[in-house]
Amino acid sequence: MRIVLIGQAAFAKEVLDGIRERKHDIAAVYCPPDGKGGRVDPVKERALELEIPVLQHRTLKGDEVKREFADLEADLGVLAYVTQIVPPAVFDAPKLGSICFHPSLLPRYRGGSAIPWQVIKGETKTGVTVFWTDDGIDTGPILLQKEATIDETDTGGSLYFKKLFPLGVEVVLESIDRIEAGTAGREAQDESLATYDPLCRDEHGEVDWHRPIDDVFNLIRGCDPQPGAYRRIGDTMVRLYDVSRADAVGKPGEIVSMGDTGVVVAGNGGALSVGRMRAGGGKVAAAECVAELGLKVGDSI
């Protein structure tokens, strides 16, 4: 098949390599413009190594992109980790349409922050979906899904990189195989089960130690590494990372102990150990950060 790949980062690069291994003709790779300082996206770098045309636009909505995409005369579009809006004029252009990867078991957790929200809300089961792209947000017919687990040790980052990234690449490539074989399904999503969450930002990440300890634990894990759950200490926003459960008693928000392994903070119904923090600069050991803020055991954070 003749395929156009739209995507970015290491995920799209791995999908690109998998498509090449299957001997498909890659008409072009679309990725966002280069980052600050001319940083080159991994999928662009790999495509150039393979002498595949790379096309970069700040938006994919213009008539120029519409004409450009149509001229590629592709059989299939593959959206692999896409953050730009892809309009119907683009995803409908290939003869067979386009497929898209999403890191949840659709129709649950639609939206651009599916991974952190699943951890924040305490889910223990997740997965990946490849669906046929339509003009809604993650609403198209499902082609293929596979499940994965969310463990207590998972953060938003580890869930993606250790579980959903490799599983997602596998499922995208298997979906392409099924399309080539003529066995790809199109199962309509059950709208009665659909959920949608906004982009996970600072407005969602402030820690309230009076909330149930499980909620705080999941919030810190889900926001790790981005956007980083936080507490405000005076005028300083202190972000919390590498959280684990601890056995300690105290008032909600009270620093119970400090050491090389972390800062233990009491909450409502338990306590948590925070391994690293960030207060304006890079991440440092939590005890170091707390000391720099002038806090000690017995103080509140």
Strands (E), 98-172: 98-102, 125-132, 142-149
Domain boundaries, the chain: 2-193, 202-292
**Contacts for 203-208: CB closer than 8 Å, 24+ residues apart:** 204/120, 205/229, 205/230, 206/230, 206/231, 206/232, 207/231, 207/240
Model confidence at 35: pLDDT above 90: no
What CATH number belongs to 202-292?
Answer: 3.10.25.10
Q: In what order do the strands lie in the sheet with 125-132?
A: 54-55, 25-30, 2-7, 76-80, 98-102, 125-132, 142-149
Point out the least confidently predicted range of 11-25, 35-49, 238-252.
Answer: 35-49
- Which option is the CATH number for 2-193: 3.40.50.170, 3.30.70.1230, 3.40.50.300, 3.40.50.720? 3.40.50.170
* pLDDT of 37: 84
Model confidence at 188: pLDDT above 90: yes
Question: Which among 106, 170, 109, 118 has a CA at the least distance from the CA of 142?
Answer: 106
Model confidence at 36: pLDDT above 90: no
Mean pLDDT, residues 146-175: 98
Q: pLDDT tens across 103-135, in order?
A: 999 999 999 999 999 999 999 999 999 999 999
* pLDDT of 281: 87
Cα distance between residue 220 and residue 226, in whole Å: 10
Q: What is the DSSP string of 232-297?
A: EETTEEEEEEEEEEE----STTBEEEEETTEEEEEEBTEEEEEEEEESSSS-EEHHHHHHHTT--T
Cα distance between residue 200 and residue 193, in whole Å: 21
Residues forming a β-bridge with 144: 130
Cα distance between residue 179 and residue 22, in whole Å: 13
For Cα atoms 191, 100, 159, give the angle at the middle one, nearest 5 degrees.
85
Mean pLDDT, residues 80-103: 96
Q: How far is CA 218 from the centre of its chain?
A: 16
Proportion of the chain above pLDDT 70, given as a percent: 100
Are residues 207 and 213 in contact, defined by beta-carbon separation less than 8 angstroms?
A: no
Q: pLDDT tens across 198-250, in order?
A: 999 999 999 999 999 999 999 999 999 999 999 999 999 999 999 999 999 99
Q: How far is CA 124 from the centre of its chain?
A: 17
Model confidence at 38: pLDDT above 90: no
pTM of the entire predicted model: 0.95
Confidence of residue 30 (pLDDT cuts 50, 70, 90): very high
Cα distance between residue 14 and residue 7, in whole Å: 11
Residues listed for the chain: 301
**Kind plus residue range of the DSSP H or E element containing 4:** strand 2-7
* pLDDT of 45: 97
